[in-house]
Amino acid sequence: MPRLLVVEDDETIGSVLESSLRAHGHQVGWERTGRDALRVAAETDFDLVLLDLGLPDLDGVEVCRQLRANNPTAVLVILTARTQEMDVVVGLEAGADDYLTKPVRLAELLARVRAHLRRVSPAPAGAQPMLEVGDLLVDTGSRRASVAGTEIPLRAKEFDLLARLATTPEAAISRETLMEQVWDENWFGPTKTLDVHVAALRRKLAGVADRGVVPRITTLRGHGYRLEVP
């Protein structure tokens, strides 16, 4: 059973999130402060954390950064008010995989949680292809990417995005397609998440550029992205 952690100081929102997620078959913990969240996350490996950025004790972005550092495989979803767009960018850069704006619509939240958990569960062995673009190897079975034996440390969504790009190298892929296929099949709304993940992937690919022929992610203005060998 997937283990979820809700970090939310608002009693009403917190109890709605906790009970709805429980009703959908998840094991759910609920903490009301950043310090308590970090403490329980140090003891338990959560599969997914819903993190309110406006917490009473610590800066939510700092909590996000520490959760990411200590729980590299957990999916981190930040909750923030619609008016605080900067929080989203800063939160994504601090390690969040996704975000939802408040007021949270329960149906959307449950759909998003389901999509994230489906992708973090291990894929069945045997049917998973090994993708090769230049010297970049993307092993979709073990979910590892490497260049000439040097592994590229990737977060869950970064891996999914790279794997999708590497599935059709040299092809233009629209932003909408990437959002639908990597994040949610019924995606609607802002796509800032995509830009932040592309930026992170570019940084990580640049970090292994001296190891071999490493593809780059080219921006196609007004359309999307393309993974190509330089």
Which range in 9-17, 61-69, 79-87, 180-188 contacts Ca ion by CB under 5 A?
9-17
The smaller minimum CB distance to Ca ion, of residues 104 and 227, is found at 104
The smaller minimum CB distance to Ca ion, of residues 83 and 121, is found at 83
Structure tokens belonging to residue 127: 């049917």
Min dist CB 102 to Ca ion, Å, is: 9
CA distance 207 to 185: 31
CA distance 31 to 155: 24
Segment (H or E) for 114: helix 106-120
Using alpha carbons only, give the angle 66, 34, 109 rounded to the nearest 5 degrees: 90
Q: Give how far the C-alpha of residue 191 lies from the chain's centroid of Cα atoms, to the nearest Å.
A: 13
The smaller minimum CB distance to Ca ion, of residues 54 and 141, is found at 54
9 contacts Ca ion (rule: CB under 5 A)? yes
Size of the site for Ca ion (CB under 5 A): 3
The smaller minimum CB distance to Ca ion, of residues 54 and 169, is found at 54
Which range in 14-22, 45-53, 162-170, 205-213 contacts Ca ion by CB under 5 A?
45-53
Closest residue to Ca ion, judged by C-beta, is 54
Among 18, 31, 52, 87, binds Ca ion (CB under 5 A): 52
Instruction: Give the DSSP letter of residue 124.
Output: P
- In 3-state terms the chain splits into helix, strand, coil percentages (rounded to 5) of 45, 25, 35
Please report, to the nearest 10 degrees, the dihedral formed by the alpha carbons of residues 229, 196, 157, 176 taken in order. -80
87 contacts Ca ion (rule: CB under 5 A)? no
Which range in 50-58, 68-76, 85-93, 187-195 contacts Ca ion by CB under 5 A?
50-58
Among 3, 36, 54, 211, binds Ca ion (CB under 5 A): 54
Rg (CA), the chain: 18
31 contacts Ca ion (rule: CB under 5 A)? no
Q: Which residues contact 114 (CB under 8 A, 6 or more apart)?
A: 24
The smaller minimum CB distance to Ca ion, of residues 84 and 128, is found at 84
CA distance 186 to 176: 10
Min dist CB 184 to Ca ion, Å, is: 24
The smaller minimum CB distance to Ca ion, of residues 84 and 177, is found at 84
Min dist CB 72 to Ca ion, Å, is: 25
Residues that bind Ca ion (CB under 5 A): 9, 52, 54
